[in-house]
Structure 1
Amino acid sequence: MITEKQMRAVVARGYGGPEALELVTIPLPEPGPGQIRIRVEAATVNPVDLATRSGALVEAGLMAARGYTGIGWDVAGVVDRLGSGVTAFAPGQRVIGLRDLLDVSLGAYSEYLALDAAAVAPAPPGVSAVAAATLPLNSLTALQALNLLDLAAGDTVLVTGAAGAVGGFAVELAARRGLRVLAQASAADEEFVRSLGAEWIVSRDASDLATDVRRLVPGGIDGALDTAGLGIRALAAVRTRGAYVTVVGGSAPLPLRGIRVHQQWISSDGAALAELAAMDLTLRVADILPLERAAEAHDRLAAGGIRGRLMLVPSEGP
């Protein structure tokens, strides 16, 4: 029996396949100074969650091994309690937030979560919590990567994996900045990617991506935002002294031909997230599952082919 000072959460007990996920009953988290406790209405299942659960991030040296690990980065919900010093939010307010710490015992797969107020933003108005929870990690990743590219309106940009969660936001945000977007996507996703603002499409299955890009943009693209981790294949499509940013760890190529090469690592940013929440971006939900079916969600995400995000809610329904 769960008491009023307890809650349910999903954690990874050790590392391994989806069977490593365990639904546990633990004490409610208390918000510290500068923090907010959120009653979770929805959490997003992202590829980083699978990498955390499997132990891949431990092997890569990105986090320390621990007996059990909190899972989940994206959260949407309602402010439940404020820590000392927090004045920008109020109890009962609908919010979204990003947990960007890897080595923690509690993540967004939970009924309550405490986050720094600086990582939280008002939820987009008129949007369900389930849809709003798809925004933080993926849109912030796209925004921060575009900022690293540092391109000007009228410049050309290649977005690989353009139909994915980060890629879709990257296409939409780039087009809104006045960039001319060349998107890598399958034929089945072409109509959707064009609706986000892509001017040109190159096939996801192209054997020579750079050649296909240069047929459309002679001399090469001004910048590449590589959400698919193609590395040198995407870099080859960039003009000399252009720019390249990858969001996939370990995929950054050498900076050939004077190209600026960056590996983008996500960081929480409540102010930027508030701006994104006000933009009426395209939010995609693939399916909604209760918290206790987190292992099933991981299986489905690992199998591939999902457009939009799988969402976890503390109880049945959105």
Structure 2
Amino acid sequence: MKAVIIHSYGGPEVLRIAEVPVPRPARGQVRVRVAAAAVNPVDVQTRSGALTRAGILPPREVVGIGWDLSGTVDAVGPGVTGFAAGDRVVGLCDRLPLPVKAQAEYAVLDAGAVGRLPPDVDLTAAATLPLNALTAAQALDLTGLHPGQTLLVTGAAGAVGGYTVELAARAGLRVIAVAAESDEHLVRELGAEHVVARSAEPAPAVRELAPGGVDGVVDAASVGIAALDAVRGGGAFVAVLHGAPPPLRGIRVANVWIRADGPRLAALAAARLRLRVADTLPLDRVADAHRALEAGGLRGRLVLLPTA
């Protein structure tokens, strides 16, 4: 089968389409015939060597690429009772040092990292869900906010930010979104009550809308300390990826470190969130996908189609 791998770090040119054996599921695992695999910033960070330089990914001779996938279960390992061949699923491959990951014709995942997909949800669009929606959901968990409280979301038009706005609004939170003016209509559709221009100094602009400060922030754009001043004393600040500021004024500060969660994925898939596909490409154009992602300006995720 074909799989996206790298042997060395660098630009998109280091990405390779390798012929590798079809993996076999071990105890507690399922094998998925991959219909679609999203391309995320973490893939770029893996390929460039940024994760290894940060001490997150140990050096390996071969590194597989890809976290998000959707497809159909075609084999199950011993001890798996929740899935059977033919089940439509979404899954998250959250282990970094693997020689084959989600961007492949077949992928093996722990059964606990896979969730069932409703029959009316498109497989291609579903591939944009796992990493970004789970990150949003787990970030909201870390805020500890309750219905009626106010949440600030930076990077609200991006993949993680958009899901955060949508999930927070559905949970009864009042959402203030930071986004470009051109994205105001989108983030309001997702559930934002107020929109602050990305070009504005966040704290003064937010405090005009929420005197005393918001109850919490999900910082999907890595604004960091500039967004912390928008939070009331004793509030919550959750950083996505990096850039968590110091816990000034008794603010609870945390980083969200994504973990696979199949049951949560199934619930998110059933929630009919707004799934945004920027474009689709065949697997062998993965380098083009990386170039487009690095160029910026995308709304939604690029999705690779292994069988296209």
Question: Given the two structures, how large is their TM-score scaled by the length of structure 1?
Answer: 0.96
Whether the 8 Å contact between 2:105 and 2:307 is mirrored in structure 1 is: no
Whether the 8 Å contact between 2:165 and 2:177 is mirrored in structure 1 is: yes
Report runs of 4+ in structure 1 exceeding 2 Å deviation: none
1:32-81 alpha-carbon deviations (Å, 9 max, x no partner): 00000000000000000000000000000001011221000001000010
Whether the 8 Å contact between 1:38 and 1:78 is mirrored in structure 2 is: yes
Out of 213, 216, 223, which is 1:230 matched to? 223
> What is the deviation of 1:275?
1.0
Q: Hey, what's the Cα distance between the residues in 2 that align with 1:12 and 1:201?
A: 41
Whether the 8 Å contact between 1:228 and 1:248 is mirrored in structure 2 is: no
For 1:169, the equivalent position in structure 2 comes to 163
Q: Hey, what's the Cα distance between the residues in 2 that align with 1:143 and 1:174?
A: 9
Q: Hey, what's the Cα distance between the residues in 1 that align with 2:12 and 2:18?
A: 15
Residue 76 of structure 2 corresponds to residue 82 of structure 1: yes
Out of 158, 173, 182, which is 1:179 matched to? 173
Whether the 8 Å contact between 2:153 and 2:220 is mirrored in structure 1 is: yes
Q: Hey, what's the Cα distance between the residues in 1 that align with 2:271 and 2:103?
A: 26
Whether the 8 Å contact between 1:186 and 1:205 is mirrored in structure 2 is: yes
Whether the 8 Å contact between 1:35 and 1:86 is mirrored in structure 2 is: yes
Residue 12 of structure 2 corresponds to residue 15 of structure 1: no
1:245-271 alpha-carbon deviations (Å, 9 max, x no partner): 01122x000000000000110000011
For 1:256, the equivalent position in structure 2 comes to 248
For 1:189, the equivalent position in structure 2 comes to 183
Whether the 8 Å contact between 2:88 and 2:119 is mirrored in structure 1 is: no
Q: Hey, what's the Cα distance between the residues in 1 that align with 2:256 and 2:118?
A: 25
Q: Hey, what's the Cα distance between the residues in 1 that align with 2:23 and 2:198?
A: 44
Alignment of 1:131-146 (within 5 A): 131-146=125-140
For 1:94, the equivalent position in structure 2 comes to 88
Whether the 8 Å contact between 2:176 and 2:196 is mirrored in structure 1 is: yes
Q: Hey, what's the Cα distance between the residues in 2 that align with 1:67 and 1:85?
A: 32
Quote the RMSD (CA, aligned, Å).
0.7
Q: Hey, what's the Cα distance between the residues in 2 that align with 1:123 and 1:294?
A: 25
> What is the deviation of 1:124?
3.2
1:103-128 alpha-carbon deviations (Å, 9 max, x no partner): 11111110000000000001133122
Counterpart code for 1:195: E
For 2:59, the equivalent position in structure 1 comes to 65
For 2:234, the equivalent position in structure 1 comes to 241
Whether the 8 Å contact between 1:124 and 1:277 is mirrored in structure 2 is: yes
For 2:306, the equivalent position in structure 1 comes to 314
Q: Which runs of 5+ in 2 are unaligned?
A: none
Q: Hey, what's the Cα distance between the residues in 2 that align with 1:74 and 1:107?
A: 9
> What is the deviation of 1:238?
0.3
Q: How many residues align?
A: 308
Q: Hey, what's the Cα distance between the residues in 2 that align with 1:278 and 1:174?
A: 16
Q: Hey, what's the Cα distance between the residues in 2 that align with 1:315 and 1:26?
A: 15
Q: Secondary structure at the match of 2:20?
A: strand
Q: Hey, what's the Cα distance between the residues in 2 that align with 1:235 and 1:105?
A: 39
> What is the deviation of 1:164?
0.2
Q: Hey, what's the Cα distance between the residues in 1 that align with 2:74 and 2:46?
A: 27
Q: Secondary structure at the match of 1:254?
A: coil
Q: Hey, what's the Cα distance between the residues in 1 that align with 2:106 and 2:307?
A: 13
Question: Given the two structures, how large is their TM-score scaled by the length of structure 2?
Answer: 0.99
